[in-house]
Chain A
Amino acid sequence: QSALTQPASVSGSPGQSITISCTGTNSDVGGYNYVSWYQQHPGRAPKLMIYDVSNRPSGVSNRFSGSKFGNTASLTISGLQAEDEADYYCSSYASSSTSVVFGGGTKLTVL
């Protein structure tokens, strides 16, 4: 069982927006602004899409945005494109063990 909870799957049509949630506790997601999001295509390494809750690394499309409310962080992808179909993982700093915890991953299907 993963430390952070994500929905197993989400789907959307091209052009639509989707949101993936990531729920933790006061000791991780809720306590610190160290939530990150990763995109992983099959057979590839994860790619950082969002860091520190809502910041985008250089080169990441502004269609990707992050937010947090309480113990739940969210990744929103607007203007869905076929290339967005992938697995998405959230992660957070966890103070209880000075470690990093990941969510179980969410499979995004673009219909």
Chain B
Amino acid sequence: QLQLQESGPGLVKPSETLSLTCTAPGGSISSSSYYWAWIRQPPGKGLEWIGNIYYSGSTYYNPSLKSRVTISVDTSKNQFSLKLTSVTAADTAVYYCARRGVRGWDFDLWGRGTLVTVSS
């Protein structure tokens, strides 16, 4: 059964780059039926969509984060990644990776999430 698993540092210093990876054991990132997404949730707050990527590499980003975000995919490793540059305390959040079908805009499979704290 397909699962999604986030991994990466739990602590990042201000002004540095946040880097996370999502792997998909039990499934294939190369499926033509899905986009792969990053979504975050600051502590005690709501959800914020960061962006999507297709296995071909095409991307959509949240306009408010677009200047700082890069989402990439590595089909050989069956994973996709998030990089967020110039982080501040406002980027402290639980970061989720998720799956979205190509015919809709809903996220039907989520990872467990990983907390990233921005602090010196």
Contacts and interface: CB of A to CB of B under 8 A. Distances in A.
A105 B89 CA distance: 22
Given A45-B110, A45-B113, A47-B110, A52 B46 contact: no
A98 B60 contact: yes
B110 A105 contact: no
B105 A34 contact: yes
B108 A57 contact: yes
28 contacts: A2-B46, A34-B106, A36-B105, A36-B106, A36-B107, A45-B96, A45-B110, A45-B111, A45-B112, A45-B113, A46-B47, A46-B110, A48-B107, A48-B108, A52-B104, A89-B46, A91-B105, A92-B105, A93-B105, A97-B62, A99-B49, A99-B61, A99-B62, A101-B49, A102-B46, A103-B46, A105-B46, A105-B47
Interface of B: 46-49, 60-63, 96, 104-108, 110-113
Residues of B contacting A: mostly: loop
Contacts of A32: 105
Contacts of A52: 104, 106
Contacts of B107: 36, 38, 46, 48, 91
Interface of A: 2, 32, 34, 36, 38, 45-48, 51-52, 57, 89, 91-93, 97-105
B46 A51 contact: no
Given A97-B63, A99-B62, A99-B63, A48 B106 contact: yes
A100 B111 CA distance: 18
Nearest to B103: A52
Contacts of A46: 47, 96, 107, 110
B110 A104 contact: no
Contacts of A92: 105
